[in-house]
Amino acid sequence: MSINIVKKSLFKPSRKFTLFSAFITLLNDRLSESILLPILPSFVLLFDSKASTYGLLSCTYQLAQFTASPFIGLMSDRYGRRPVTLFCITGSIVGISILSFTVLFDWSTSIATIPLFLLFIARLIDGLSGGTAATATTILADISSPEKRAKTFGLIGVAFGLSFFLGNIFVVIFAKNANNNFIIPVIIASIIPIINFILVFFYLPETKPKNELNKSKQIFKNPLKQLFKVFKEEKIRKLSLAFFIYFIAFTGLTNILIFFLQESLNWTTKASSGTLVVVGVIAIIVQGGLIGPLVKRFGEMKLTLVGSGFILLACFLLITAPQENAIVNIYSAVSFLAVGAGLITPTLRALISKKLDGDNQGSILSNLQGLQSLGGVLGIGMAGRVYDDFGPKAPFIAGALILLFMIYLIAEGKNKNITYN
């Protein structure tokens, strides 16, 4: 399937540059998150020891993204992918700038509410402009044939893995016991969205044909209503619900894991970052090189179920991890977690995308991004509360139960002779 370019970028467009621009946009969307993930628990623990406070701060981004994603998707269907992507990247630049200032400033003589408030504001702005992932995903769908969509969506996982690897390797290398221990990784994270903006401005063409632009006058829509609209689509209802359930479990697990390592097992920021480096490397390998051949041989449905099994195994290892000398359990768990996510994320998204027509790709995929964000909000919030109320390992038990429900939904759909592959 060739690219249907209807609006030229400033330089000669090509499929290669379109893919690269979408990839950098996805990388930008995750890199600041990846750098913040190991830093945030240490930063929050300076002012508040509750996991629920950490969870509330962490889910601010997902809540804002959930609210904005349907609007962003409708805008991309109406005005095109390119202008909306540029708008979202601009918001990312503002958000990461506030975040950088907050993390790098010395707050030792300040009251605790000021840095926490600024972090909330930074995460809010970044989340409201978090349609970059949705628009980049839609661009990938625009330029891919249905049979190659899972492989192309593997780029999302590569960007996710590379951002995890780069963000956390910077923290591992440069983290020191000093007030300015995060200067270099945070500065790098601040530069990435600027490079992203320049690249998209000069090289990204419009990938949605002009005659397919949606001229609907209604732009501002209730995000919950838009999500319910996804569930009303009979052909994608169960898959969308499974997608939602998966991100409740996965986002809750990954976010509380670092807090668990630092608060319960007393791991340092550098040590906990090392586990995320492993996640990044495995995600790059699985979604960058293996997912295409695996989909051809086994199909999206089987890989989704196998991936769920890997994450369940990771939960078991975390639940049984000893208080001392837990390194084998932890690194094995994050490895299985990364393999499972690498299999599930592109295949489940592709299963849904293959059932959509081109006119609804932008709005539906953006609504899926909203589902992912809402799942993240619920997952992170629940994980923090369960951690405080029932103990450090309780979130991993809850995550396993949620994943079992997701597997049940997928299996039920399969038993009703719905063909997904």
Q: What is the pLDDT along the chain (421 residues), one digit of tens a residue?
A: 444 444 455 555 567 778 888 888 888 777 777 777 777 777 777 666 677 777 777 778 778 877 777 777 777 777 888 888 888 888 888 888 887 787 777 776 667 678 878 888 888 888 887 667 777 877 887 777 766 766 677 777 778 778 878 888 877 777 664 544 667 777 877 888 888 898 888 888 777 766 655 555 455 556 566 666 777 777 778 888 889 999 999 988 988 998 899 888 888 878 888 888 888 788 778 877 788 889 888 888 889 889 999 999 999 999 999 888 889 999 999 999 999 988 998 888 887 777 776 556 666 776 777 788 788 888 988 898 899 899 999 999 999 999 999 988 877 755 554 444 4
| Two structure tokens written together for 159 | 């960007």
Task: For residue 63, give every residue at least 6 positions away whose Cβ sits within 8 Å of its Cβ, in sequence order, or none.
Answer: 127, 373, 374, 377
Task: For residue 420, give every residue at least 6 positions away whose Cβ sits within 8 Å of its Cβ, in sequence order, or none.
Answer: 239, 299, 300, 301, 351, 413, 414
- How far is the first Cα of the chain from the last one, in angstroms, to the nearest whole number? 19
C-alpha 193/C-alpha 191 separation (Å) is 6
Q: Give this prediction's pTM.
A: 0.70
Which residues are registered as beta bridge partners of 7?
A: 206
C-alpha 176/C-alpha 173 separation (Å) is 9
CB atoms inside a 10 Å sphere around CB 414 = 16
Task: For residue 380, give every residue at least 6 positions away whose Cβ sits within 8 Å of its Cβ, in sequence order, or none.
Answer: 55, 58, 59, 62, 251, 252, 255, 256
Compute CA distances 303 → 176, 363, 375, 410, whole Å. Answer: 40, 26, 21, 12
Q: Does the structural domain 15-208+223-414 have CATH classification 1.20.1250.20?
A: yes
String of b and e for 117-134 (b: at least 16 CB within 10 Å)?
ebbebbbbbbbbbbbbbb
Q: Any idea of the CA torsion for 135, 137, 139, 144, to the nearest 10 degrees?
A: -160
SS3 110: coil
Q: What pLDDT sits at residue 334?
A: 93
CB atoms inside a 10 Å sphere around CB 157 = 25
C-alpha 43/C-alpha 41 separation (Å) is 5
C-alpha 221/C-alpha 226 separation (Å) is 7
Q: What pLDDT sits at residue 41?
A: 76
* Interhelix angle 291-298/149-174, nearest 10 degrees: 140
C-alpha 130/C-alpha 138 separation (Å) is 14
- What DSSP string runs through 241-255? HHHHHHHHHHHHHHH
Q: What is the DSSP letter of 2?
A: -
Task: For residue 214, give every residue at least 6 positions away whose Cβ sits within 8 Å of its Cβ, in sequence order, or none.
Answer: 74, 77, 78, 359, 362, 363
Q: What pLDDT sits at residue 337?
A: 93
Residue type, 124: L
Show the DSSP H helices in 233-326 as ranges: 237-259, 269-285, 291-298, 300-319
Element counts in the chain: helices (H) and strands (E): 15, 0
